[in-house]
Amino acid sequence: MSTIATNESKRKLFEFITENIFEFSFDRMLSHKPNCGFAKYSDFLKHNKDCVEQLSNDDVEFYLKICIKIHAEEIIQVDEEDYGEWTTCAIYFNKDSQIVFMHPR
């Protein structure tokens, strides 16, 4: 894969994160989980950009495929408590650089 394609793929992946995790979503996260590891939305975005930059080419392409499936509403989450199902709406990297799948409120 060329560097240009990789940079474009990374840009698309980060764009998906920023288009689906808005500042009000971050503020809600912060109010429910004050120890989320980020004091400001800009810190959260920088961390996620850094995480994307550190991914291997294969991982970037893998996550982009997941993003396409999320956009097409093909990835569902289930709660084992009552087996309620939710459409996944976004992904982001938490403070430990783990990928997180988010469902809408």
pLDDT averaged over 10-residue windows placed end to end, the chain, 105 residues: 76 94 91 92 97 95 94 90 90 96 85
pLDDT of residue 30: 92
Q: What is the pTM of this model?
A: 0.88
pLDDT of residue 12: 95
pLDDT of residue 3: 64
pLDDT of residue 105: 72
pLDDT of residue 104: 81
pLDDT of residue 4: 62
pLDDT of residue 90: 92
Structural domains counted in the chain: 1
Contact criterion met (CB below 8 Å) for 73 and 87: yes
Burial class of residue 16, CB neighbours in 10 A (0-12, 13-18, 19+): buried
Name the strand (E) or helix (H) holding 31: helix 23-32
Rounded distance between C-alpha atoms, residue 80 and residue 45, angstroms: 31
Rounded distance between C-alpha atoms, residue 89 and residue 70, angstroms: 6
Q: Which residues contact 13 (CB under 8 A, 6 or more apart)?
A: 52, 55, 60, 63, 64, 67
Domain that holds residue 44: 3-102
